[in-house]
Chain A
Amino acid sequence: MIISIASGKGGTGKTTVATNLAVSVDDPVQFLDCDVEEPNAHLFLHPTIEETKTVNTPVPQIDLDACNQCRKCMDICRFRAIAVVGDMVLTFPELCHSCGGCMAICPESAITETDRELGALEIGHRDGIAFTHGRMRVGEAMAPPLIRLVRQAGATDGLTLIDAPPGTSCPVIAAMKDTDFVLLVTEPTPFGLHDLTLAVEAVKILKIPMGLVINRCDIGDDKVKAYAQREGLPILMEIPFDREIAQCYSRGEMFTLTLPEWKARFRELLQQIKTLIGKGAGE
C-alpha cells in the first residue's frame, strides 16, 4: 500500500504528518522523501544513511569528426538543447530532457550519450523504517526523473509513505502517480484553501482516493471544511495550532514523541485510510 502525502501549498505540514505517521504505526514502513528540491524528512527521522548513489541522466555528446552538420538533431529537439552553428554543434545539457531523439535520428551515428548529474539518492533506515530520499543537485532544473528513481526504491509490499513536494505540476504528479491514496495536508486559510482546490483537481485527474488533514485547524476560517463537505472529501485528522507543536517542529522533533497521546491518533488515521482504500477497491 502506497500513501502519498501532498498539499498544494508549501509549509502546511506534509513532512510533519508523514514523519509522525511513520513513527506511530506498527506496520513496517518504507519512507520515500520525494521532495527532492528541498528534502526535509531526514531532519526529523534522522535515518542512518547506508548508501549514497549519484544519479545521472543521459545527455548527448557529439563526435564532430563523424558529424556532417545535417541539422537533423537540432530539428528533432523540442527543448532547444542542440544547436548547429556553422561547423560546430553546441549542446545545452541543462535543457536536455534525455529523450534520446537526437541520437536515434543522427544518420552518421555521431551522437552518443554522456551523463549529466541530477543529484543523489541516499538510502538508510531508522528502527523499523526503511528510508530513501533524493537530493537534487543545486542548479539542476528537472526534479521528476530523480523523483521517479526515489519511487523505484520503494518496497513492493508493506506500507510505503511518500512525502511529496508542494505545487500541482510535474514534480508532485511524479510523486503521487500510481499511489493508492493521497493524504492532503492543508491549513484553513485562503492560501491553504486555494492551493488545496488545485491539489484536489490534480488528484482527481490521477483518479486516486484522497482524504484531508487540517493542520492548525483553529486558525483562519471555516471555508476549508465547507469545501471538504461540498467535495465529499473526508477530514481524517485535525491538528490544532499549538506553540509546543510548532516549537518541536522548529527543533527537528516529531511531536508524537513529546505528546504521545497523538500516537494513537496517527494509528487511527492509518486505519481510516486502509478502510477508505478498501471501499474504493470494492466499488
Chain B
Amino acid sequence: MKELVILSGKGGTGKTSLTASFAVLASGSLMCDADVDAADLHLLMQPDIKTQTDFEGGGVAIIDPERCSGCGTCIDMCRWEAINSEFFVDEIACEGCGVCVDFCPEKAIDFPTKTCGQWFISDTRFGPMVHARLGIAEENSGKLVTLVRQQAKQLAEKKGIDLIITDGPPGVGCPVIASVGGATSTLIVAEPTVSGIHDMSRAVELCQHFKVPVMVCVNKFDLNPENSDKIEKIANDAGLPVVGRVPFDSDFTRAMVQGKTLIEYDARGPASESVRQVWSAIMASPAMTAD
C-alpha cells in the first residue's frame, strides 16, 4: 500500500483543491484529510459519514475547591502559569502535564481526559475517506493526525485499496511531522511567491530530515514565471523530481463554490489538463513506482 501526502509549507497554495482532483483521477483510492485543524477537503467531497468516534486528547486539570487547602504548590509548580491565585485553572493555558495533580498534597486536583475532537469514516463519490475535526482551541493535533492516518491505513487494508492520498496541514510543526512519517512520498505544492519559495524550502528540509521522498509541483505558475523557474531550480538542485506546473485559474474557485473538484467542473479546461499531467508524473515517479 502506498501513501502520497500533499504538503506545501505555506497555507493557501492549493493543496486541498489539488488533492481532491487527484482523488478523482486516481479512482479507487482512499482519501485522508490530515489537516485536522482547519479541514476543508470535505467541502469538495461531501462525505456521507458512516462512523463517528470521539478523539480523547490529554487530561486537563480541575481543582476541587472543597478539597483544596490553598497551599499554592500547584501554582508554584505549574510552568504554564495556568493556575491563578483563586486556584482556577485556565483550560487554554493548561498544557496537560498533570504535574499539579501529582504534587497536590490534598489530592484535590482531578485530571479527566478531554474529548478534543471527532474522527470519521465516510463514503464519497470517489471512494472512502477518513477525516477528523479537532475541537477549537484544542491541542494534540499531532496525535489526531497520527490516529487518522492509522485508521486510513487499516481501512485501506480491509478494503484492498492500494493508494492513500493524504491532504496535509500547512507549516512544519507537530501536525506536519505527524503527517510525513512513513509516507511513500510527499508532494509539495509550491506557489511562485517569495513566501511560497521560503516555506517550500523549509517543508523540503523537513521531509529530508525525516527521510521521506519529496516531489514538487508549482501551482499558479503564471503569476510569476521567474519565481516558478526558481522553484524548479531549487528542486532540481536538491535532486527532487518536478512533476509539473498548474496555471492560476479562477475555475478552481468556481468549482469550490459549487462543492466540486476542478476535474468535475471542467474536465477539458487547461487547468484540468495540467493537473492530469501532474498526476501522471506523480504516479510514474520513482518513489511511487518502487516496490
Contacts and interface: CB of A to CB of B under 8 A. Distances in A.
Query: 9 nearest interchain CB pairs?
Result: A10-B11, A11-B12, A99-B97, A37-B171, A252-B194, A250-B224, A141-B174, A101-B99, A250-B193
B253 A219 contact: yes
Contacts of A138: 172, 202, 205-206, 209
23 contacts: A9-B40, A10-B11, A15-B195, A37-B170, A37-B171, A38-B170, A38-B198, A40-B10, A44-B194, A99-B95, A101-B99, A136-B172, A136-B173, A143-B173, A166-B170, A166-B171, A168-B38, A171-B173, A190-B40, A190-B257, A247-B223, A250-B193, A250-B223
Contact of A251 (B199, B206, B224): B224
A189 B256 contact: yes
A280 B210 CA distance: 47
Interface string B19-45: 000000000000000000110100100
Contacts of B93: 177
Interface in A135-171: 136, 138-143, 165-171
Contacts of A143: 171, 173-174
Interface in A34-59: 37-38, 40, 43-44
A98 interface: yes
Contacts of B195: 15, 38, 40, 43, 249, 252
A233 B98 CA distance: 38
Q: How large is the interface on A (under 10, 10 to 19, 20 to 34, 35 or more residues)?
A: 35 or more
Given A169-B138, A250-B227, A43 B38 contact: no
A79 B140 CA distance: 11
B253 A78 contact: no
Given A100-B77, A191-B43, A139 B99 contact: no
Nearest to B195: A40
B142 interface: yes
B9 to A, nearest CB: 6
Given A76-B102, A250-B193, A139 B206 contact: yes
B79 to A, nearest CB: 6
Contacts of B174: 141-143
Contact of A10 (B12, B79, B95, B141): B12
A252 B199 CA distance: 13
A264 interface: no
B139 interface: yes
A173 B194 CA distance: 26
Interface in B89-104: 92-93, 95-99, 102-103
Contacts of B9: 38
Contacts of B96: 78
A12 B12 contact: yes
A79 B162 CA distance: 33
Contacts of A206: 92, 137
B171 A100 contact: no
Interface residues of B, number: 60
A246 B171 CA distance: 21
Interface in B126-162: 134, 136-139, 141-142
B186 interface: no
Contacts of A194: 38, 40, 43
B13 interface: yes
Interface of A: 8-12, 15, 37-38, 40, 43-44, 76, 78-79, 97-101, 104-105, 136, 138-143, 165-171, 173, 177, 189-191, 194-195, 198, 201-202, 205-206, 219-221, 243, 246-247, 249-252
B287 interface: no
Contact of B40 (A191, A201, A251): A191
A141 B194 contact: no
B92 A205 contact: yes
Given A37-B171, A165-B171, A251 B58 contact: no
Contacts of B77: 100, 104
A58 to B, nearest CB: 9
A247 B191 CA distance: 12
Nearest to B36: A169
B72 interface: no
B241 interface: no
Contacts of A101: 97-99, 102
Contacts of A169: 37, 134, 137-139, 141, 175
B250 to A, nearest CB: 7
A9 B38 contact: yes
A251 B37 CA distance: 29
Given A43-B198, A138-B209, A206-B92, A201 B139 contact: no
